[in-house]
């Protein structure tokens, strides 16, 4: 009976400690991709990974995008390459992203700036990290999204509906 009491007391003590433990801070940034699973389009000399990045700012402060990092991993989990776009240089590469402000309690959409990859790259997984600053304050806040892109395969054999030589002016 004494052993049972000791065990019960120990369990209650552990339960009390875990209940009193502070909760992990909830991130104010939520990042996702559209589509949820990006597709890889195989071209003649490169592969294209086109998707949008959506950032939900849950904070009460407007945030400014300072940096975009991407890491690509092969099927063995080894890092293939890391690319960065930031405020370095004049004009800086990040300026090619026209809208970089995530409003308080708002959403920011960013087209993937790292869409072209060598044809030989074995891309099995990608991780994008976006870093934001608060105007007039020191420090930065980052959030990441990881995904395994899927190679797109045509399901239908398409045929051009016209015969002979054709001049296409646009499209």
Burial 70-80 (b: 16+ CB within 10 A, else e): bbbbeeeeeeb
Most confident of 113-122, 131-140, 153-162: 113-122
With beta carbons less than 8 A apart as the criterion, state whether 54 and 107 touch: yes
How many alpha carbons lie under 13 Å from residue 66 in its C-beta half-sphere? Answer: 13
pLDDT at 155 over 70: yes
Q: What is the pLDDT of residue 135?
A: 80
Closest residue by Cα to residue 40 from 145, 144, 119, 155: 119
pLDDT tens track for 15-41: 444 444 444 456 789 999 999 999 999
Give the span between the Cα atoms of 41 and 71, in whole angstroms.
19
pLDDT tens track for 79-130: 999 999 998 888 889 999 999 999 999 999 999 999 999 999 999 999 999 9
Give the span between the Cα atoms of 67 and 124, in whole angstroms.
23
Query: Is domain 26-151 in CATH 2.60.40.10, yes or no?
Result: yes
Q: What is the pLDDT of residue 16?
A: 43
Average pLDDT over residues 56-76: 96
Residue with tokens 């099995």: 124
Average pLDDT over residues 56-82: 96
Q: 158: pLDDT confidence band, cut at 50, 70 and 90?
A: confident
Domain boundaries, the chain: 26-151
CA-based end-to-end distance of the chain: 83
Average pLDDT over residues 144-165: 92
pLDDT at 13 over 70: no
Average pLDDT over residues 57-71: 95
Give the span between the Cα atoms of 87 and 85, in whole angstroms.
7
Q: What is the pLDDT of residue 25?
A: 52
Residue 28 CB neighbour total at 10 angstroms: 18
Q: What is the pLDDT of residue 36?
A: 96
Give the span between the Cα atoms of 149 and 95, in whole angstroms.
26
């Amino acid at each position: 009976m004494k052993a049972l009491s000791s065990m019960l007391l120990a369990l209650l003590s552990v339960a009390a400690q875990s209940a009193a433990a502070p909760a992990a801070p909830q991130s104010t940034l939520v990042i996702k991709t559209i589509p949820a699973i990006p597709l890889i389009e195989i071209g003649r000399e490169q592969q294209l990974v086109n998707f949008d990045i959506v950032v939900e700012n849950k904070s009460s402060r407007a945030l400014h995008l300072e940096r975009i990092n991407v890491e690509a991993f092969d099927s063995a989990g080894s890092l293939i390459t890391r690319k960065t776009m930031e405020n370095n240089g004049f004009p800086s590469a990040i300026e090619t992203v026209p809208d970089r402000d995530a409003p308080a309690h708002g959403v920011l959409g960013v087209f993937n700036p790292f869409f072209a990859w060598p044809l030989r790259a074995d891309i099995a997984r990608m991780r994008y990290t976006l870093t934001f600053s608060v105007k007039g304050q020191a420090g930065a806040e980052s959030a990441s999204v990881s995904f395994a892109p899927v190679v797109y395969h045509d399901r239908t054999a398409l045929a051009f509906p016209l015969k002979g030589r054709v001049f296409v002016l646009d499209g």
